[in-house]
Chain A
Amino acid sequence: MYWGSLSEFLEMGGYGLYVWTSFIITALCMVWEILALWRRRAAAIAESRGIVRDIR
């Protein structure tokens, strides 16, 4: 373990704002992409069921 304390870890030697913004926005983008795909999949399934219902 490199860090001595939690506050030291969060401060990142004065660069905390830049480091944490980078990591958090990257994480948010990836989580958002997964959620968006989940919604897209649900919508695509609902839509294809509708098509089949219309035909039958």
Chain B
Amino acid sequence: MNWSKYSAPLAFYPLAGRMIPWFGTVAALAIAVGLYIGLLVAPTDFQQGEAYRIIFVHVPAAWMSMFLYVVMAVWAAVGLGLNARLSFMMTQAIAPTGAMFTFLALLTGAMWGKPTWGAWWVWDARLTSELILLFQYAGVMLLRTSIDDQRRADRASGVCALVGVVNIPIIYFSVQWWNTLHQGASVSMTAAPKMATIMLTGMLLMTFGFWMYSLAVILSRARCVILERESLQLWSKPSSVPEVAGVR
């Protein structure tokens, strides 16, 4: 199978449409089981009490906020290097979802910080760098909307996304590099997880669910972007018209 043909937005459009229901279904199932484990099955934490349950949304949201930024930056790099339209469309499609998860990571973090630390917010390295990530997402989106010429908007927001990727290792390692109030990583690549298996299972299921949700939503937004930017070509190709006409 020749996958490179899907780098053309017109070929990608129906393919994305076929994948969205699958990712959406898997996301709903994983989140349902993750919530069941996180809220109903997992025992309490002996230090933090029930407030710890916030991690079942906080950690997946925070991971997604960083992961989506890296994916967005990779698409921006591909777009800048190969001058590929679909790559820039993917950058455009990822930014709002990444920004939403960054906002949710900050909000749920505040919800955990108030009862546990006694403060909604502290200017700690982890929290501050995550707040900067939110501004970076906003910058990538605003730069695009503020430039009328589509190609220049693509390149400007792509460069912005690419340069900002330096903040991702800063966020990730901030808890090691600085003496932060935010706790260190409970789950890492190099050491055994510092949490009970049932809690870890719930958290990983929620993360997987958020990941599949992101795929479904981003592909769906990419289809909107293709429609908005290339509707003339889409409609001029008769075979694609029935696909577009049916709102799915």
Give me the interface of A with B, judged by CB distance under 8 Å. 1-3, 9, 12-16, 18-19, 21-23, 25-26, 29-30, 33-34, 37, 40-42, 44-45, 47-49, 51-52, 55
Contact = CB atoms under 8 A, between A and B. Distances in A.
* B: contact size bracket: 35 or more
Interface stretch (B141-149, B182-190, B229-237): B229-237
A2 B217 contact: no
Given A2-B40, A18-B51, A44 B224 contact: yes
B155 interface: no
A48 B227 contact: yes
Given A2-B42, A19-B50, A30-B213, A48 B111 contact: no
B43 A2 contact: yes
B235 A48 contact: yes
Contacts, number: 103
Contacts of B49: 13-15
B126 interface: no
Given A22-B58, A41-B224, 9 more contacts: A12-B50, A13-B49, A18-B115, A22-B107, A23-B57, A33-B100, A37-B217, A37-B221, A45-B247
A25 B107 contact: yes
Nearest to B109: A22
A22 B54 CA distance: 7
Nearest 9 A/B pairs, CB to CB:
A48-B231, A13-B50, A44-B227, A12-B50, A15-B51, A22-B108, A22-B111, A18-B111, A52-B235
A15 B115 CA distance: 8
Contacts of B87: none
A20 B43 CA distance: 17
16 contacts: A1-B40, A1-B41, A2-B44, A15-B49, A15-B50, A19-B50, A22-B111, A23-B39, A25-B104, A25-B107, A33-B100, A37-B224, A41-B223, A48-B227, A48-B231, A52-B235
A1 B56 CA distance: 17
Contacts of A15: 49-51, 53, 115
B13 to A, nearest CB: 12
B61 interface: yes
A6 to B, nearest CB: 11
Contacts of B111: 18-19, 21-22
Contacts of A9: 39-40
B112 A22 contact: yes
A25 B104 CA distance: 8
Nearest to B226: A44
Contact of B103 (A23, A29, A49): A29
A51 B227 CA distance: 11
